[in-house]
Chains A and B, each alone.
Chain A
Amino acid sequence: MAHATDHAASPAILKEVKPADFPRPKLVENDRSFAWITDKVCSIIEGKTPTWWWVCFVVACFVASFTVAGITYLVATGVGVWGHANPVNWAWDIVNFVFWIGIGHAGTLISAILCLLRQKWRTSINRAAEAMTIFAVVCAGIFPVFHVGRVWFAWYLFPIPNSNYIWQNFRSPLEWDVFAVSTYGTVSVLFWYIGMIPDLAVLRDRFFKAGNRLRSALYGFFAMGWRGSNRHWSNYEMAYLVLAGVATPLVLSVHTIVSFDFAVSLIPGWHTTIFPPYFVAGAIFSGFGMVLTLMLPLRAIFKLEDLITQYHIDCMCKITLATGTMVGYAYGMEFFIAWYGANPYEGFAFVNRAFGNYAWAYWIMISCNVITPQFFWSKWVRNNTTLVWVLSIFVNVGMWFERFVIIVTSLARDFLPSSWGYYSPSIVEIFTFFGTFGVFSVLFLLFIRFLPMMPMAEIKAVTPQADAHAGNDHH
């Protein structure tokens, strides 16, 4: 009825307006059925373990052993085995911490922010991206926890009553960071798990039918007895929406607080108000780089082209382009403000970044972060999966160097030229960082082997056949 009155009130000319036909891009190609989607995603878990998986798993375990070796040596000897010395007392650990945390941010962006913005293309990539977030946070956490030196006292970071009767200093951004990162890790796990419940129920039932009672019981335990009830879905969807609603300010706050670690200090090159938005954009940029790095091979291996379509790749490339360009703008603006602010120390910090003894790192950063994403303007590049993958690697490299440049250049040449130094990582630091790629890969490989890599229920919900109103307008 409301529609009819609206039409009567609208000008007559509207009847002659013919809206252009903009077909929505298909999110699942080839009109796949619900059953096909279930089979496709479950078959990854149910099938025999592929040989390549074992090869990758063994290699990943080997790489991860470098972190174990590095950390064992550090704990046994002392934090002095890292290359930190005056004036650079803080480098590799915080660089790697920010690098990994930043990577995690794309997962939350995809799962939470794109959910609020009703970007339906998020559905096929959000589960894997959330897994990436959690594993990246695990890798990030290694560095600050072990940098405290005596790691068995790491619990001093939390306000737990201790025998010294002293409390944490909540005026320090580092203490804020403890809360930001631990909240981020926890909420990411909760969000990931809640999203997985209906899919775990699918696996429970499938393994039960296949006669595998053990796996059915394991998946069933975590599926919480989910039975697809619409009364449940109603509360579930609301809970999911609320979680997306709180994860959105969370992801923005986490990297803001990470940037406060620097911005709240008085070091030239760090003490700038642009840091929070600049760090958040950089984090999302690096995270999308990592999502592309991970998803493109998986798409090829598991033949997921119908679920991760060219449209998905286009969207990811465009976000990478947008955030990469924001990061480029931030680099330019930092230089502008350093000149415009007329503070000689600030000015020196930036000239030193671009032309000082770490200029090589600076120009790697600029080439990877500012130039690389510009290729994504071209449709031809976005359609070339191999090229997109190679470019995504450059993004990862560039964002690591960004953190290195920000942190190390500002410290290595501070206020007093007599104390200037040049920081190089020790072999222990290199081992520890190199190994985190193994830690990440081990966790990610286990994830794709044992958990549903894509949210089946969510993908089904965005297919045309899930639309109960298709073809008729009854309400």
Chain B
Amino acid sequence: MAAQPYGLIATFETPASVMRAAEKVRDAGYKSWDCITPCPVHGLDKAMGVKRSIVPRFSLVGGLTGFTTGMILIWFTNGYDYQLTVGGKPLFSPLFAFPVSYELTILFTAFATIAGMFFVNRLPMHYHPVLKYDQIHRGMDDLFFIVIEARDPKFNFNATRALLETAGGTSITELEA
């Protein structure tokens, strides 16, 4: 069996042209495909049919964990494990525990958001077939690409190639797996 290619990559010059092409690929029913852009393009998510990111769910869990950690930490240390009266103040009160819990909320949210973003994006992934394309550096610089993966059930070498061509893609190249 000949080596199965990873997919096809097509080049586009402008954000507007990649956006129109993305709408066509979306409407053709492809699922395993992607756009490569040097900067976030406003409206491309909609054109690709990408759903709203789920990263904020990680943030929420992180934030709640942080706040709870702060409150429990302060209650345990000052109110339970080593009770030391200072200035006649209560051994525990959520009021004086608030500033630290607030900071820990932010700290844990930040870590959870970033970890969540990496997890959802499956990064770090230093090896990827797309990165082997010899023009890929232009995708971080000034060009736009659409990649359609061979594992997509609708993928058909000739039909997919024709779709990318009619969508305005140039230099359509097969990517090695």
Q: Do A and B come from one complex?
A: yes
What residues make up the interface of A, taking CB atoms closer than 8 Å to B?
A: 33-35, 38, 159, 165-173, 175-176, 179-180, 183, 186-187, 190-191, 194, 198, 201-202, 205-206, 208-209, 220-221, 224-239, 242-243, 246-247, 249-250, 253, 257, 260, 456-458, 460-461, 465-472, 474-475
In the complex, how many angstroms separate the beta carbon of B81 from the nearest chain A beta carbon? 7
Asked if residues A243 and B84 are in contact (CB atoms below 8 Å), the reply is: no
Chain A residues with CB under 8 A of B87 = 171
Q: Which of B103, B111, B118 contacts A253 (CB 8 A)?
A: B103
Listed stretches B135-143, B154-162, B164-172; interface member: B135-143
Asked if residues A183 and B106 are in contact (CB atoms below 8 Å), the reply is: yes
Chain B residues with CB under 8 A of A458 = 39
Chain A residues with CB under 8 A of B102 = 249, 253
Asked if residues A236 and B117 are in contact (CB atoms below 8 Å), the reply is: yes
A383→B43 CA distance, assembly (Å): 37
Asked if residues A230 and B41 are in contact (CB atoms below 8 Å), the reply is: yes
Chain A CB within 8 A of B28 CB: no
Chain B residues with CB under 8 A of A474 = 20
In the complex, how many angstroms separate the beta carbon of A351 from the nearest chain B beta carbon? 30
Asked if residues A475 and B137 are in contact (CB atoms below 8 Å), the reply is: no
Q: Which of B41, B54, B121, B131 contacts A232 (CB 8 A)?
A: B121
Chain A CB within 8 A of B10 CB: no
With A180-B99, A460-B39, A467-B15 known to touch, is A230 a contact of B140 (CB < 8 Å)? Answer: no
Q: Count of A-B contacts with CB under 8 A?
A: 220
With A176-B99, A230-B48 known to touch, is A205 a contact of B107 (CB < 8 Å)? Answer: no
What residues make up the interface of B, taking CB atoms closer than 8 Å to A?
A: 14-16, 18-20, 34-46, 48, 50, 52-56, 59, 63, 73-74, 77-78, 81-82, 84, 86-87, 89, 96-97, 99-100, 102-104, 106-107, 109-111, 113-114, 116-118, 120-121, 123-128, 130-131, 136-137, 139-142
With A190-B111, A202-B140, A457-B38 known to touch, is A180 a contact of B103 (CB < 8 Å)? Answer: yes
A233→B43 CA distance, assembly (Å): 12
Asked if residues A239 and B55 are in contact (CB atoms below 8 Å), the reply is: yes
Asked if residues A179 and B74 are in contact (CB atoms below 8 Å), the reply is: no
Residue of A187, A470, A471 with most partner-chain B CB within 10 A: A187
Asked if residues A475 and B40 are in contact (CB atoms below 8 Å), the reply is: no
Asked if residues A225 and B97 are in contact (CB atoms below 8 Å), the reply is: no
Q: Which of B36, B78, B110, B126 contacts A228 (CB 8 A)?
A: B36
In the complex, how many angstroms separate the beta carbon of B132 from the nearest chain A beta carbon? 11
Chain B residues with CB under 8 A of A209 = 137
A228→B147 CA distance, assembly (Å): 12
Asked if residues B39 and A225 are in contact (CB atoms below 8 Å), the reply is: no
Residue of A171, A190, A220, A233 with most partner-chain B CB within 10 A: A171
Asked if residues A187 and B107 are in contact (CB atoms below 8 Å), the reply is: yes
Asked if residues B53 and A235 are in contact (CB atoms below 8 Å), the reply is: yes
Asked if residues A167 and B50 are in contact (CB atoms below 8 Å), the reply is: no
In the complex, how many angstroms separate the beta carbon of B168 from the nearest chain A beta carbon? 13
Q: Which of A173, A201, A257, A465 contacts B140 (CB 8 A)?
A: A201
Q: Which of A168, A173, A235, A475 contacts B117 (CB 8 A)?
A: A235
A33→B46 CA distance, assembly (Å): 25
Main secondary structure of the interface of A (DSSP, over half): helix
Chain A residues with CB under 8 A of B126 = 220-221, 224-225
Residue of B nearest to A175 (CB): B100
In the complex, how many angstroms separate the beta carbon of B38 from the nearest chain A beta carbon? 6
Chain A residues with CB under 8 A of B127 = 225
- Known pairs A235-B53, A239-B53. 9 more at Cβ < 8 A? A34-B39, A198-B140, A227-B130, A229-B121, A230-B41, A238-B53, A243-B113, A247-B110, A460-B38
A159→B109 CA distance, assembly (Å): 20
- Could you name 17 residue pairs across A and B whose Cβ atoms are closer than 8 Å? A38-B38, A159-B77, A167-B81, A167-B84, A170-B74, A175-B100, A183-B106, A198-B140, A205-B136, A224-B118, A239-B53, A239-B114, A246-B106, A460-B38, A468-B19, A468-B42, A468-B44
In the complex, how many angstroms separate the beta carbon of B93 from the nearest chain A beta carbon? 9
Asked if residues A225 and B131 are in contact (CB atoms below 8 Å), the reply is: yes
Asked if residues A227 and B110 are in contact (CB atoms below 8 Å), the reply is: no
Residue of A nearest to B107 (CB): A183
Asked if residues A179 and B59 are in contact (CB atoms below 8 Å), the reply is: no
A465→B81 CA distance, assembly (Å): 62
Residue of A nearest to B105 (CB): A246
With A176-B100, A234-B50, A253-B103 known to touch, is A191 a contact of B110 (CB < 8 Å)? Answer: yes
Residue of A227, A228, A234, A461 with most partner-chain B CB within 10 A: A228
Q: Which of A173, A237, A472, A475 contacts B16 (CB 8 A)?
A: A472
Asked if residues A229 and B116 are in contact (CB atoms below 8 Å), the reply is: no
A198→B130 CA distance, assembly (Å): 15
With A232-B121, A235-B55, A467-B15 known to touch, is A171 a contact of B36 (CB < 8 Å)? Answer: no
Q: Which of A183, A239, A260 contacts B103 (CB 8 A)?
A: A183
Asked if residues B128 and A225 are in contact (CB atoms below 8 Å), the reply is: yes
Asked if residues A35 and B141 are in contact (CB atoms below 8 Å), the reply is: yes
